[in-house]
Chains A and B, each alone.
Chain A
C-alpha cells in the first residue's frame, strides 16, 4: 500500500510502539495509586510531560493531557464561551471540532464571526481586527490548515490583536502543525493550544492542551481530580508516553523531515505541472513552501500537505481509482468525506472555481514515504485523470443534448 493520507492519521513508529506496549503490559500502574507501581506510573507521566515541555518550548505544568484534538477544542471553546453570551471570532477554515463547538455555542446565544481567507487559505488579519467587539471573548485560528496545508500567521494575528487592545483569550488548533513546524509555545503569543498525537506517528486517542496562564479553566470532565483538577479520568499512560516520544522524535528530526517532505513535494509538483486541467492549491514549485531558513509572512504552506484540484472530475471517483492502484489519498477533509453531496467548507472559503471544486484531492506525506511512491502516484494520475475527465465531459455533453 502507498499511504499518502498522513494528514488523516499516521502509522505508529516502532520506537513509539515499543513504549506503548511496555506501558500496557509491564509498567501498567495507575498514576493515582499510592504504591510503588503507581509511583512509577506517576514518574513516567512526569517524564512524558517534561519531555514534551522541553520540545514544545513551554513549562510542564502548562500542559494538560486529553484524548485528542477534538476534546481539547471542545474543552476550550465550550468553557471560554460560558456565562453571559458574547461574541467570538473563528476562522472560516477551522476543523469541524472547532466549527461545530462554536455552532453549539451559537445556539446558546453567542454570536460567531467567521474570519475570511484568501485564495491561498490565509486568514485576513485586517478583517479579523475590524470585526473585534468590546464583548469578544475568544479568537480561535488554527496553525496549519488540514485540507490545504496553509500556515496561518497566528503570531502576527496575536500581536495585531493585542496592539488593537484585545485582552481576551487567543486559541489555536495545532493538530496539523505538530511535528511539521518547530513549535515554541511560549513565544507563539496564544493563550491556549490544542493538538493530538496521531498526526505525527503517535497513538490515537491522546492529545494535549497548552495553557499559557495558570488561570483555571473549568473542566469538561469531573471526577478524580487528575491533571490538577483540570481533566479527570485515569491517565492513558501508554498513549501519553507514546505521544511524548513521538513529539520528541519529530522535533529532533525536524530539519531532516522537512528536507524529506520538501523533496517529495517538489517531485510531485513538477509532475503535476505536466498534467492538463490540474491545479495545485498548496502553493507552487519553489515558492510559498515553508522553509525553516527563511522568514515568512503568510500564504505559506507546510511541505507535507498538498491539495490538488482537477478540472471536470469527481474527487471521490479519483480517490477510489487511486485506491484500486493501492494508493490512499483523501478528498478534502476525512471528517467530512462521508457527506458526499457537500463541498468542503475550506474549498468554499477559498472561493475555488466551480469547475474545480468537486475535484480536489489531498496528498499528505510523512517521512516514511519514498520518492518511488510519488512516482507511482504520478504515473497513475497521468494515466487515469484524462480518462476520468473525458468520461465526465462526454457525460455532460450527452446531458446537454437531451
Chain B
C-alpha cells in the first residue's frame, strides 16, 4: 500500500566492459538485449529500449521488484538505477527530487549526508539550462531536508536529473553482476557434484559469457533419489542466472564396482574421476561444447593436487576450465552463499564420491601408473554403457511447484 501504486517505472542500465569491445560491440549488445528480453518476457508490459548507448527498462509497478531481481542476476550489467519518471513541469521535478532523496537518505542515520545534483538536458526545448536547474533542485532539497550539505567533489548522494521527453530522476546506483552477456563466450560442460564448489565454478564461467550444460554422476541405488534432487536443485539455482540448464545424469555405479573389484583401493577416487572426465568429454563433444568446467581448487582434497589434476586432465582431449583453482575455501563459500547455492550444497546426502571412499587415497598419482591400473578395465565398454543409461533434463529457475 505504498503511495507509488501504478507508477510507471523506468530503470537505466549500464554495461561497461562490453562497450569496450570495438567491432564486436553490436554482437554483445544484441545478445544482452536478447537475454534480458528472454528473462523479462514473463512480466507483461515490460519494455526494453536502446538510446544513446544506454539501455532502459520500463515496467509496470506490479512487476517492479521482480524486474529488479532479474537485473540483479543478468550477466553483463555493470550497474543500474531505478528512476522516477515525471512530466516536464518544474513542480513535478521538484517533488520527484524530494521523493528520491527521501529514499536515498534512509541509508544515512540522522538523515545527514552530503549531496550534489547533476543535470543532463538532451531535450533543449526545456527552458531551464542544466546549471540553473541543478542549483534550483539543490535549493529545493536543502529546503526540504535540514541534514543535507552540498559537496560537489565527493558527494555521498548524487541526484541525477535527465531532461528528455520526460524528466528522469535517480539517486540509487545498484551494482550489477558485471561480466559478459550470457552465451557470448562459447559453450562448456560443467561437472556438477552436490558440493559447494562446482555450482560456484559454473556460475563464474557463465559470468564470463560461457553457456553452461551440466553432467552429474550418481551411484543409485548406493545413492538416493534425494541426492539427485539436491543436484537438480543446485542446477535450478544456477539457472536463476543462466535462464536454463541442460543436465545430464549418469550412473557411475558399474564403473565404481569394476574399479573396486580390479584396481588398488587407494586409486578408487582418481580412477573414478578419470572416468567422469572421459564420459563428460563424450557428452561434451556430442553437445558441441568446447571445454569442460570443474570445481577443482588446488590442494583442497587429495585428488586435487597438481599430480591429481595431471592425471584427470590426461583423461580428456578438451581444455579443462578451473575457475576456482587458486581460490580459498572461505572465498568459494562466500560466493556460494551470495548465489544461494550454499544451503542446498550442505544438505546431508551422500554423493557418489563419498560412498566408495577408501581408507587411504593416493595423493601423488603418476599418469603412467594410473593408466596401467585403468588397463585392467574394459574402459570403452564401461563408458559406453554408462552413457547409454544417461538421463537428460532441462532445468529452469522457476520450479513448477507441481502438486
Query: Which residues of A pack against B, CB within 8 Å?
Result: 19, 34, 36, 39, 42-44, 47-48, 50-51, 54, 57, 61, 155, 184, 187, 241, 244-245, 292-296
Contact B401 A54 (CB under 8 A): yes
Q: Nearest chain B CB to A299's CB is how many angstroms away? A: 13
Across the interface, which residues of A come within 8 angstroms of B403, CB to CB?
19, 44, 47-48, 51, 241, 244-245
Across the interface, which residues of A come within 8 angstroms of B224, CB to CB?
34, 39
Contact A39 B3 (CB under 8 A): no
| Proximity string of chain B (241-267) to chain A, C-beta cutoff 8 Å, 1 when within and 0 when not | 000000000000000000000000000
Distance, CA A36 to CA B225, complexed state (A):
8
Across the interface, which residues of B come within 8 angstroms of A244, CB to CB?
401, 403
Contact B343 A155 (CB under 8 A): no
Q: Nearest chain A CB to B1's CB is how many angstroms away? A: 5
Which residue of the partner chain A has the closest CB to B4?
A: A295
Closest CB pairs A-B (n = 4): A51-B401, A47-B401, A295-B3, A50-B401
Given A44-B403, A48-B401, A155 contacting B1 (CB threshold 8 A):
yes
Across the interface, which residues of A come within 8 angstroms of B3, CB to CB?
295
| Proximity string of chain B (391-403) to chain A, C-beta cutoff 8 Å, 1 when within and 0 when not | 0000000011111
Q: Nearest chain B CB to A225's CB is how many angstroms away? A: 12
Across the interface, which residues of B come within 8 angstroms of A44, CB to CB?
403
Across the interface, which residues of A come within 8 angstroms of B399, CB to CB?
47, 50
- Given contact pairs A39-B224, A39-B225, a sample of 8 additional A-B residue pairs in the complex whose CB atoms are under 8 Å apart: A34-B224, A39-B229, A47-B399, A48-B403, A51-B401, A57-B65, A295-B5, A296-B1
Across the interface, which residues of A come within 8 angstroms of B153, CB to CB?
none
B2 proximal to A (CB < 8 A): yes
Contact B226 A47 (CB under 8 A): no
Distance, CA A295 to CA B2, complexed state (A):
6
Distance, CA A292 to CA B1, complexed state (A):
8
Which residue of the partner chain A has the closest CB to B3?
A: A295
B388 proximal to A (CB < 8 A): no
B6 proximal to A (CB < 8 A): yes
Distance, CA A292 to CA B6, complexed state (A):
10
Q: Given B65, B226, B343, which contacts A39 in the complex, CB threshold below 8 Å?
A: B226
Instruction: Tell me the interface secondary structure of chain A in the complex.
Output: helix
Across the interface, which residues of A come within 8 angstroms of B2, CB to CB?
295
Contact A47 B5 (CB under 8 A): no
Distance, CA A36 to CA B343, complexed state (A):
23
Contact A43 B229 (CB under 8 A): yes
| Proximity string of chain B (326-356) to chain A, C-beta cutoff 8 Å, 1 when within and 0 when not | 0000000000000000010000000000000
Distance, CA A245 to CA B402, complexed state (A):
10
Across the interface, which residues of B come within 8 angstroms of A48, CB to CB?
401, 403
Which residue of the partner chain B has the closest CB to A240?
A: B403
Which of B3, B6, B229, B403 is the most central at the interface, judged by chain A CB atoms within 10 Å of its CB?
B403
Across the interface, which residues of B come within 8 angstroms of A19, CB to CB?
403
Which residue of the partner chain B has the closest CB to A34?
A: B224
Which residue of the partner chain B has the closest CB to A156?
A: B1
Across the interface, which residues of B come within 8 angstroms of A187, CB to CB?
65
Across the interface, which residues of A come within 8 angstroms of B6, CB to CB?
293
Q: Which residues B198-240 have CB closer than 8 A to chain A?
A: 224-226, 229
Distance, CA A36 to CA B5, complexed state (A):
47
Q: Given A47, A57, A241, A295, which contacts B1 in the complex, CB threshold below 8 Å?
A: A295
Distance, CA A296 to CA B2, complexed state (A):
8
Which residue of the partner chain A has the closest CB to B228?
A: A39
Contact A61 B5 (CB under 8 A): no
Across the interface, which residues of B come within 8 angstroms of A50, CB to CB?
399, 401
Q: Nearest chain A CB to B217's CB is how many angstroms away? A: 20
Which residue of the partner chain B has the closest CB to A54?
A: B401
Distance, CA A47 to CA B401, complexed state (A):
4
Contact A293 B5 (CB under 8 A): yes
20 A-B pairs, CB-CB below 8 angstroms?
Answer: A39-B226, A39-B229, A47-B399, A48-B401, A48-B403, A50-B399, A50-B401, A51-B401, A51-B403, A54-B401, A57-B65, A155-B1, A184-B65, A241-B403, A244-B401, A245-B403, A293-B5, A293-B6, A295-B3, A295-B5
Which of A57, A61, A184, A295 is the most central at the interface, judged by chain B CB atoms within 10 Å of its CB?
A295
Q: Given A34, A57, A61, A245, which contacts B343 in the complex, CB threshold below 8 Å?
A: A61
Q: Nearest chain A CB to B225's CB is how many angstroms away? A: 5
Across the interface, which residues of B come within 8 angstroms of A241, CB to CB?
403
Distance, CA A54 to CA B229, complexed state (A):
20
| Proximity string of chain B (50-78) to chain A, C-beta cutoff 8 Å, 1 when within and 0 when not | 00000000000000010000000000000
Distance, CA A155 to CA B19, complexed state (A):
42
Across the interface, which residues of B come within 8 angstroms of A296, CB to CB?
1
Contact A294 B229 (CB under 8 A): no
Distance, CA A107 to CA B77, complexed state (A):
58
Which residue of the partner chain A has the closest CB to B400?
A: A47
Distance, CA A295 to CA B61, complexed state (A):
13
Q: Nearest chain A CB to B402's CB is how many angstroms away? A: 6
Distance, CA A245 to CA B2, complexed state (A):
28
Across the interface, which residues of A come within 8 angstroms of B225, CB to CB?
36, 39
Q: Nearest chain B CB to A257's CB is how many angstroms away? A: 16
Distance, CA A293 to CA B3, complexed state (A):
10
Across the interface, which residues of B come within 8 angstroms of A184, CB to CB?
65
Q: Nearest chain B CB to A38's CB is how many angstroms away? A: 9
Distance, CA A184 to CA B66, complexed state (A):
12
Across the interface, which residues of A come within 8 angstroms of B5, CB to CB?
292-295
Distance, CA A155 to CA B400, complexed state (A):
31
Distance, CA A187 to CA B4, complexed state (A):
14
Distance, CA A296 to CA B401, complexed state (A):
34
Q: Which residues B1-33 have CB closer than 8 A to chain A?
A: 1-3, 5-6
Distance, CA A51 to CA B399, complexed state (A):
9
Across the interface, which residues of A come within 8 angstroms of B402, CB to CB?
47
Q: Nearest chain B CB to A256's CB is how many angstroms away? A: 15
Q: Nearest chain B CB to A277's CB is how many angstroms away? A: 34
Distance, CA A187 to CA B69, complexed state (A):
14
Distance, CA A295 to CA B343, complexed state (A):
38
Q: Nearest chain A CB to B168's CB is how many angstroms away? A: 23
Across the interface, which residues of A come within 8 angstroms of B400, CB to CB?
47
Distance, CA A54 to CA B3, complexed state (A):
24
Distance, CA A292 to CA B226, complexed state (A):
42
Q: Nearest chain B CB to A183's CB is how many angstroms away? A: 11
Q: Nearest chain A CB to B148's CB is how many angstroms away? A: 18
Distance, CA A19 to CA B401, complexed state (A):
13
Distance, CA A184 to CA B401, complexed state (A):
19
Distance, CA A31 to CA B400, complexed state (A):
19
